[in-house]
Amino acid sequence: MSHNTFGHLFRVTTWGESHGPSIGCVIDGCPPGIPLTEADIQPWLDRRKPGGSRFVTQRREADECRIVSGTFDDGEGPVTTGAPIAILIENTDQRSKDYGEIARAFRPGHADYTYQAKYGVRDHRGGGRSSARETACRVAAGAVARKVLGQDVAIRAGIVQIGPHRIEDDRIDFGAVEHNALFAANAEVVPAWAAYLDDIRKAGSSIGAVVAVEAVGVPAGWGAPLYGKLDGELASALMSINAAKGVEIGAGFESAALTGEQNADEMRLGDDGAPVFLSNKAGGVLGGISTGQPVTARVAFKPTSSILTLRRTITRDGTETDLRTKGRHDPCVGLRGVPVVEAMTACVLADAMLRQRGQTGWAFPSFSETQI
Amino acid sequence: MSHNTFGHLFRVTTWGESHGPSIGCVIDGCPPGIPLTEADIQPWLDRRKPGGSRFVTQRREADECRIVSGTFDDGEGPVTTGAPIAILIENTDQRSKDYGEIARAFRPGHADYTYQAKYGVRDHRGGGRSSARETACRVAAGAVARKVLGQDVAIRAGIVQIGPHRIEDDRIDFGAVEHNALFAANAEVVPAWAAYLDDIRKAGSSIGAVVAVEAVGVPAGWGAPLYGKLDGELASALMSINAAKGVEIGAGFESAALTGEQNADEMRLGDDGAPVFLSNKAGGVLGGISTGQPVTARVAFKPTSSILTLRRTITRDGTETDLRTKGRHDPCVGLRGVPVVEAMTACVLADAMLRQRGQTGWAFPSFSETQI
Amino acid sequence: MSHNTFGHLFRVTTWGESHGPSIGCVIDGCPPGIPLTEADIQPWLDRRKPGGSRFVTQRREADECRIVSGTFDDGEGPVTTGAPIAILIENTDQRSKDYGEIARAFRPGHADYTYQAKYGVRDHRGGGRSSARETACRVAAGAVARKVLGQDVAIRAGIVQIGPHRIEDDRIDFGAVEHNALFAANAEVVPAWAAYLDDIRKAGSSIGAVVAVEAVGVPAGWGAPLYGKLDGELASALMSINAAKGVEIGAGFESAALTGEQNADEMRLGDDGAPVFLSNKAGGVLGGISTGQPVTARVAFKPTSSILTLRRTITRDGTETDLRTKGRHDPCVGLRGVPVVEAMTACVLADAMLRQRGQTGWAFPSFSETQI
Amino acid sequence: MSHNTFGHLFRVTTWGESHGPSIGCVIDGCPPGIPLTEADIQPWLDRRKPGGSRFVTQRREADECRIVSGTFDDGEGPVTTGAPIAILIENTDQRSKDYGEIARAFRPGHADYTYQAKYGVRDHRGGGRSSARETACRVAAGAVARKVLGQDVAIRAGIVQIGPHRIEDDRIDFGAVEHNALFAANAEVVPAWAAYLDDIRKAGSSIGAVVAVEAVGVPAGWGAPLYGKLDGELASALMSINAAKGVEIGAGFESAALTGEQNADEMRLGDDGAPVFLSNKAGGVLGGISTGQPVTARVAFKPTSSILTLRRTITRDGTETDLRTKGRHDPCVGLRGVPVVEAMTACVLADAMLRQRGQTGWAFPSFSETQI
């Protein structure tokens, strides 16, 4: 993680502003020989892209990606070559509008003030670099990471809380996520949540959310103690998503109220002689290394900062003012966080897989290679 | 963050196992000319060290640190030279005992199984590299980081939750932490918490906790979007601490239940013309960059995994067994997390300060240099 | 330095292949507030671009760069914002031709065989990623680095040897470089060199060269011992240029034949009381840190590997063959190395400047701040 | 490469000053399960250590290393665990002497002035951090790197030039190096070189040297284009050695005088069907990736800067003076560079091996896995 690049062996660099001509990413360190075309990436971008329902911003972007380097077709379709994969996405719906007020005043909850304080200059058009638009690049990179991980690792996320409404752990069903516009991880909550969110939207307000993610199929052994722990890497990757304010692994903050007896995931041997955990409070990570159980995490998203209610703020020339953020916005930015959480998880895991392979020589153990 | 090193410009590398001859750290990139002796570090180590009360492990370590490089006394006392600062700490209380059972069986909740799975070998003596003993090195590095930050930045942490007992936000008093053996951030809770923890301890059980931390005096402008965000760096640094399972910044997971109106920290101008925030839901970070408000975070710690109750587990040669973890342990490992959370926060901030200075030329703005 | 990224604080990532749709670079960590448009970059690209004389490849590329992120015009012209600067360059003259033979056979001296051996796949079109075409991105990044360094640091390179013809050290005149198509660092050698190179070119052969570079105005104090030494960073940056086979700093390999008396650069005080070196065998670097004298280096370039003479080689399906490399090629690839050597030197220095500022708080000392 | 750490996956951090209590290194990222004790390291340290002959400094150091972390003996002897390997070496012969003059005056050719200019403070005792004493740590790390590389890769270096005396390429015999105190790569030159160096030594002077190194057994495929090229990594690693002023790969600077016909290493198939190069002008690296031929490099060392002849210099308080560097010094510091060049080469190769394995899944191809 270093400014606009993350990852160690599977490294992603992103660039671009909300209202610039384009955005993009460069993926370096990808293994060679992996079939890859835009068709592997576009579905994930389509899933993230705005304008898909009334619950997300009405900005309409085609979000068509183009791979402009790093693949080569030697007769059997394009495959990765080991060279950096550059992906470009044009910005097509940057409305030309009067940014006068936003250019002067700092929108509360946004990064306007901090960018100005840090850099002495800021691209105020649509949030510039701090816009959630950048997350399209993360999703594109995540699509490539999924190809690196292969079929054996499945990563799924969904909304498990929106405002005061929460899906209990034992009712989470990631299979429901693709079938509702709220990305809710349970089909039954959708009508009530939709009504709730409609009210929020009509009021010009916004609301926070929690996204849960799980990665199934990660073998035991990924992650690099002590400062490259799998959970530490996940924490920074997920916290780096726009509007994220908290990350927890496994039982997370609930762990604080557990006793050692409740928390320790006991072990037994399965029918095939392989280790079996009897619970997963650890969220699939012990000592920073994967256990072979599903890796589970949750990310808290704050409500969208752009709301219609007048808020008190100041301007860059040092006067007080009140500001109402008009424009096309998300009533619950967490919804759009779902594909991004998946993508960041995929990138972290692909990186961990390559690092594991680098240090030890194996990424996925065959049964006979199982190390215990 | 990379295996056993963290930080970009202020970089800390740690080494050593629980029962090896010594542990240590190397701090690279420290600015030159900073007065530094063991006396700057020892108090922080003393505060962390085990054996101080009945609430923590009875392992007794002198934890005496020695600075063996990176400082030079040219007549006015030792100062940092810009060269790597190596700090050594001897292990003096590694009891020689029979590790027979632990060597074979994987302690549930510990990293035994995952280290074995990853590396095919593990130093089972006291947890080896995965032992909380390593955190002494973090505390030593944090002491140096505090010197880099100087007097203007104050970092304080304390326990705000232990099991079901929680200190409400408006009752947190970091000033109380130094005056009770529980590191509790409120004096009034101490008797009840002590009784509760005594019960846990006598039952051979353990309990989780939440540590809150705040850093006051961080100017607006530190942090490097997008993948070196101040909160992202904090998240990985804090999640890398032994037993940490969750990290939140500012309102954290509570943000999920807030509306945009509740969450946006409004701004006004103070009497001196400087920007003033009217609340701090953001935890002092917007868009990954510090706002000038206190940087606040919370870390969830799971209960100590070593408990006296028999737990089901397996052995490395593939048999099922039941294990009771005897020995000297902490009923609430979160207590000892307090100085470590402070130390990691200090290291992240020192690194952010140097990176800010590298990119922009300033670390602390003078009033006239204020960038807005 | 890490695969396709180099630099620590001023970081450059490049992507793109010789015959892909475009190439580009992302510059991360650039200080904010620096005026920057394509007009700052294009002249350097024009100077490097092929097709300019009969001495370089006849491939014709417009090499027009577009800055698509990282700058913002807030009314006084575009300035850097601190966000990543992405620069795109279209490939316009990738001739569609039959690559049949090159696709099968490994061109001796080229990276064909090694890319195939490493990755199991290679983009054979024009050398793919290993093509010198990539150096356009380095030159673009170098142009930005020059802006970061400012007017006080001047970097100039030129050819000082071509085949057996060498310009003695005391006759090097970097002022001559811009006035001859051979980039020769002495005007008088040009007629003889041109005739010599014409003979090489007409014979379908090629020849090696040495490029010298100097950076004037670098203050004492840049560079980070021990493994981030200024000369170590220069060595890897310059050795990473296509066809480079040697790098030396100051007296370089000649040092091996010098005595300590000859080699030690003695010091005196100048009229202004500032330190003055009486010679510069060190090439402006002692102990990996700049001395304040000109930083001088030399880079050896091997002859272009593409020649018309039949060479023995093998094919990827394991047969022996003879190959003649037709196409548009440089008789002396070292000529085109001149702007690239300058650019890499600029990038290394900009990075060293920011790192120095990060660790110590200053980049250029004012007289009163001089540290001795 | 970053200040006091180098390597990407096989990472070495060193610390310590010439006259501090000890020096040491931390090796992170080492694969697990490799048998390792001090006995694997000590012979290499003994070979480097001063005091061994009249040709090197008379400082006498036991240079006894202790491994204090990262290995574990589970019954079959200590093996690496994957945790950081810390190695300590005590300084035992730091003579207490009057450093008065050196403390004030900058020794020409040394890093005294530049450390003072950069840091505003310097440990003047024996050169502090800039002393060649630090290279003991590199040699210790190199010993571990050799274990990682295994028996198949053999790395040997030797002196091929000392002052005006040079061993022609076709007379280099690395087998001779161990049998003479000059580390000369040819037995016949020893008497003349010894007499020459005796004269230098008696005159209180010093002389430069060139060290050649070759690594045999490196398979095709190691190295990471474009900014992690194997030759680029070697260049920075070797240039970072004290007193190094030039690095060349393969034909190096001689390449400048070669034609394309002379330079291109033609290929044929060997009796076993494997690729065979008919020459090795490339030094075993094409496009930054190993070819399978021996990797060959040469490093130029300047003469020891400490000489008995009075040299003009200045003091830190800004006066002119003349200085004679007394003490225990090497007449040819290049001699002691031989084991260090080998060690750095081993570290670079071990790192490249792990990176290759991380990205592609293999480090050493079996015959059937050969990628072409």
CA distance D5 to D22: 18
Residues of B in contact with A162 (CB under 8 A): 256
Residue C326: pLDDT over 50: yes
pLDDT more than 90, % of chain B: 84
- Binding residues of A for FMN, by number, are 129-131, 242-243, 287, 302-306, 328
pLDDT averaged over every residue in chain D: 93
* C258 three-state secondary structure: coil
Query: Mean pLDDT throughout D218-236?
Result: 97
CA B34-B37-B43 angle, 5° bins: 115
List, for residues B1-40, the tens digit of each pLDDT value: 568 999 999 999 999 999 999 999 999 999 999 999 999 9
Residue A117: which of B5, B221, B312 has the nearest Cβ? B221
List, for residues C234-285, the tens digit of each pLDDT value: 999 999 999 999 999 999 999 999 999 999 999 999 998 899 999 999 999 9
Q: Which of B26, C40, B232, B110 is nearest to D88 (CA)?
A: B26
pLDDT averaged over every residue in chain C: 93
Query: Mean pLDDT throughout D195-206?
Result: 95
Cβ burial A162-197 (10 Å sphere, 16+ → b, else e): bbebebeeeebebebbeebebbbbbeebeeebbebb
List, for residues B164-220, the tens digit of each pLDDT value: 999 999 999 999 999 999 999 999 999 999 999 999 999 999 999 999 999 999 999
CA distance C12 to C350: 11
Q: Does the beta carbon of B359 lie under 8 angstroms from any beta carbon of chain C?
A: yes
Q: Are strands D65-67 and D22-28 parallel, antiparallel or unpaired?
A: unpaired
List, for residues C184-220, the tens digit of each pLDDT value: 999 999 999 999 999 999 999 999 999 999 999 999 9
Interface pTM, i.e. ipTM: 0.96
Residue D6: which of C227, C275, C285 has the nearest Cβ? C227
Do residues D154 and D216 touch, judged by C-beta distance below 8 A? yes
What stretches of B101-181 adopt beta strand conformation (E)?
154-162, 165-166
Per-residue pLDDT at D126: 86
* D40 three-state secondary structure: helix
Residue B339: pLDDT over 70: yes
Do residues D149 and D346 touch, judged by C-beta distance below 8 A? yes
Residue B102: pLDDT over 90: no
CA distance B278 to C330: 66
Query: Mean pLDDT throughout B229-234?
Result: 98
Residue C369: pLDDT band (50, 70, 90) is very low
Residue C96: pLDDT over 80: no
Residue D329: pLDDT band (50, 70, 90) is confident
Per-residue pLDDT at D369: 47
Question: Please, what sign has the CA dihedral across residues B321, B324, B326, B330?
Answer: positive
Residue B294: enclosing H or E segment and its boundaries? none
Query: Mean pLDDT throughout B78-92?
Result: 96
Q: C129 φ, ψ to 5°? A: -70, -25
Residue D135: pLDDT over 80: yes
Report CB contact under 8 Å: D85, B15: yes
pLDDT averaged over every residue in chain A: 93
Residue A73: enclosing H or E segment and its boundaries? strand A71-73
User: Token pair for residue D265?
Assistant: 């290493």
Report CB contact under 8 Å: A121, C15: no
CA distance B28 to D5: 9
Using CA coordinates, name the residue in chain D closest to A354. D358
Per-residue pLDDT at C62: 86
Residues of B in contact with D86 (CB under 8 A): 15-16, 24
Residue C371: pLDDT band (50, 70, 90) is very low
Residue B94: pLDDT band (50, 70, 90) is low
Residue with tokens 């000890």, as numbered in its chain? D22
List, for residues C161-177, the tens digit of each pLDDT value: 999 999 999 999 999 99
Per-residue pLDDT at C94: 67
Helix B333-360 to helix C333-360 angle (10° resolution) is: 130
Kindly list the distances between the CA atom of residue C194 and the CA atoms of C185, C327, C339, D61, in Å, as whole numbers in the listed order: 13, 21, 19, 58
Lowest mean pLDDT among A101-115, A252-266, D33-47: A101-115
pLDDT averaged over every residue in chain B: 93
Query: Mean pLDDT throughout D24-34?
Result: 98
Chain D nearest CA to B82, separation (Å): 6
CA distance A346 to A40: 14
What stretches of chain C adopt beta strand conformation (E)?
5-6, 11-15, 22-28, 65-67, 71-73, 78-80, 85-90, 154-162, 165-166, 209-216, 244-249, 267-269, 275-277, 285-286, 289-290, 295-301, 311-314, 320-323
Q: Which of C111, C232, C213 is nearest to C155 (CA)?
A: C213
Cβ burial D320-355 (10 Å sphere, 16+ → b, else e): eeebebeeebbbbbbbbbbbbbbbbbbbbbbbbbbb
Residues of C in contact with D228 (CB under 8 A): 1-3
* D245 three-state secondary structure: strand
CA distance A287 to A306: 40
Query: Mean pLDDT throughout B327-351?
Result: 93
Per-residue pLDDT at C110: 95
Report CB contact under 8 Å: C267, D117: no
Which of B247, B290, B355 to substitute to test the interface with A, most A CBs within 10 Å?
B247
Do residues C5 and A5 touch, judged by C-beta distance below 8 A? yes
Please name the amino acid found at residue A256: A
What is the CA D369 to chain-centroid distance, rounded? 33
pLDDT more than 70, % of chain D: 94
- Binding residues of D for FMN, by number, are 129-131, 242-243, 287, 302-306, 328
CA distance D148 to D34: 7
Helix C112-119 to helix D333-360 angle (10° resolution) is: 60
- State the number of CA atoms in the 13 A half-sphere of C147 facing the CB: 22
List, for residues C133-164, the tens digit of each pLDDT value: 999 999 999 999 999 999 999 999 999 999 99
List, for residues A289-336, the tens digit of each pLDDT value: 999 999 999 999 999 999 999 999 999 989 999 998 876 678 999 999
Per-residue pLDDT at C319: 95
Report CB contact under 8 Å: C355, B358: yes
pLDDT higher at D33 or B366: D33
Residue D160: enclosing H or E segment and its boundaries? strand D154-162
Per-residue pLDDT at C201: 93
User: Token pair for residue B369?
Assistant: 């240099």
Kindly list the distances between the CA atom of residue C82 and the CA atoms of A1, A108, A310, B290, C138, in Å, as whole numbers in the listed order: 17, 22, 30, 16, 19
| Contacts with D202 (C-beta within 8 Å, 6 or more apart), sequence order | none
List, for residues D87-101, the tens digit of each pLDDT value: 999 998 766 565 677
**DSSP per residue, A232-257:** HHHHHHHHTSTTEEEEEETTGGGGGG
Q: Name the D residues in 92-131 with CB < 8 Å from any C CB.
A: 106, 108-111, 113-120, 129-130
Using CA coordinates, name the residue in chain D closest to B99. D74
Residues of D in contact with C292 (CB under 8 A): 117
pLDDT higher at C311 or B99: C311
Residue with tokens 């990827």, as numbered in its chain? C316
Residue C367: pLDDT over 50: no
CA A117-A120-A126 angle, 5° bins: 85
β-bridge partners, A259 = B207
End-to-end CA distance of chain B: 32
User: Token pair for residue C333?
Assistant: 């690839």
Q: Which of B358, B295, B307, B18 is nearest to B157 (CA)?
A: B295
CA distance C164 to C324: 25
User: Token pair for residue B16?
Assistant: 């050593």
Do residues D36 and D82 touch, judged by C-beta distance below 8 A? no
pLDDT more than 70, % of chain C: 94
Query: Mean pLDDT throughout C73-77?
Result: 92
Kindly list the distances between the CA atom of residue B216 and the CA atoms of A242, B151, B284, C338, D161, in Å, as whole numbers in the listed order: 24, 10, 9, 51, 60
Residue B96: pLDDT over 60: no
Report CB contact under 8 Å: D26, B4: yes
Kindly list the distances between the CA atom of residue D79 and the CA atoms of A372, B18, B69, B134, D144, in Å, as whole numbers in the listed order: 17, 17, 29, 21, 12
Report CB contact under 8 Å: C358, B361: no
Query: Mean pLDDT throughout A177-191?
Result: 96
CA distance B267 to A313: 4
Return the number of other C-beta atoms located less than 10 Å from residue C273's C-beta: 11
